[in-house]
Copies of this chain bind each other. A is one copy, B any other.
Amino acid sequence: MAKKSGKKRKAPEPVLRDVLRVPEGERIDLAGYDARAIPAGPADKAAGLAATAALGPRLAALQERLYAASTAGDRRRLLLVLQGMDTSGKGGTVKHVIGLFNPSGCRIHAFKAPTQEERNHPFLWRIMRALPQPGEIGIFDRSHYEDVLVARVRELVPRRLLGRRYGQINRFEKTLADDGVTVVKVFLHLSYEEQRARLLERLDNPDKHWKFNPGDIEERALWPAYQHAYELALERCSTDEAPWYLVPADRKWYRNWAISKLLLEHLEALDPKYPPGDFDVEACRARLLAS
């Protein structure tokens, strides 16, 4: 209906979900992905920071709608799963991206080495206990994927049991999806060189020594084994119900923008609505005015 004009039409914004999504069932070679790339991203750092800041109010508004809907029985919620090598920016993502949301609606859990009690249960037990409730945004800093990552590299369980876990994870995530959980799994793809630079940066600054652990150097020595373990997890567990997204993470500004954008796209797809009140507005107003 719009009048045709001589102006060039603006190209439609690419859907980042489609750009970063790990295809289901295909072989993945992480060496083929450039960790400094900025697929479908803003042109440079300044533009990236501005774009991320601009997403903040939109994310917070959608979060409020999601929470509001839950008060009327909508069970939907979102779970962001963050995985990646040391220094890949899991903590930085929580600070800079999750910091854009209202903290009262966020349920954040950082998974450490399992406690004795956690080891006495199936590996998904502690995961279940940390899930977001309806209306919430859950954030896992590490997750059940550690049970096929460090568990594989360090041979913490017999290979036969390890092999079964991929299917167990897929069935678990399908159950979550059936219950209204939108699972957004992000692999922060860092290069070997950038990890070295970031670890050195921590050494250079005494205020960052608390973040450094000499054990990080031993883990780094196992880089190829970890990359292989990630490839298997991405190949086997990128499902329709819970796809993996591969986010190049060498540039922090791109990482923050990309994850913010992924969350926005998922929340927009949910399109949560403010529920109507189930009370008599006029009667309530009259009572209030008389009080």
Q: Does A154 contact B (CB under 8 A)?
A: no
- For the complex, give the distance between the alpha carbons of A91 and B104 in Å: 8
Report yes or no: B274 in contact with A207, Cβ–Cβ below 8 A. yes
Report yes or no: B279 in contact with A214, Cβ–Cβ below 8 A. yes
Residue of B nearest to A279 (CB): B214
A212 is contacted by which of B106, B203, B277 (Cβ under 8 Å)? B277
Q: Does A175 contact B (CB under 8 A)?
A: no
Report yes or no: B203 in contact with A281, Cβ–Cβ below 8 A. yes
Q: Does A200 contact B (CB under 8 A)?
A: yes
Q: Does A37 contact B (CB under 8 A)?
A: no
Report yes or no: B274 in contact with A212, Cβ–Cβ below 8 A. no
Each complex incorporates copies of this chain amounting to: 2
Q: Does A289 contact B (CB under 8 A)?
A: yes
Among A172-211, those with CB < 8 Å from B are 196, 199-200, 203, 206-207, 209-211
Which of A3-11, A92-100, A157-165, A243-251 contacts the other chain? Answer: A92-100
Question: Chain B's nearest CB lies how many Å from the CB of A213?
Answer: 8
**Number of chain A interface residues as a range:** 35 or more
B-contact 0/1 string along A34-56, CB 8 Å cutoff: 00000000000000000000000
Q: Does A68 contact B (CB under 8 A)?
A: yes
Report yes or no: A288 in contact with B199, Cβ–Cβ below 8 A. yes
Among A55-84, those with CB < 8 Å from B are 68, 71-72
B-contact 0/1 string along A98-112, CB 8 Å cutoff: 110111101010100
A103 is contacted by which of B103, B274, B275 (Cβ under 8 Å)? B103
B-contact 0/1 string along A204-244, CB 8 Å cutoff: 00110111111001001100000000000000000000000
Can you show 29 pairs from A to B with CB atoms below 8 A apart? A68-B210, A68-B211, A72-B210, A91-B104, A95-B103, A95-B104, A98-B104, A99-B99, A99-B103, A101-B103, A103-B106, A104-B108, A104-B110, A104-B141, A196-B288, A196-B289, A196-B291, A199-B288, A200-B289, A203-B288, A206-B276, A209-B274, A209-B275, A209-B276, A209-B281, A210-B275, A212-B284, A214-B284, A220-B291
Contacts beyond the supplied A209-B277, A212-B284: 14 A-B pairs with Cβ under 8 Å: A68-B210, A71-B210, A94-B104, A95-B102, A103-B108, A104-B110, A203-B281, A203-B285, A206-B276, A206-B277, A212-B277, A214-B284, A217-B284, A217-B287
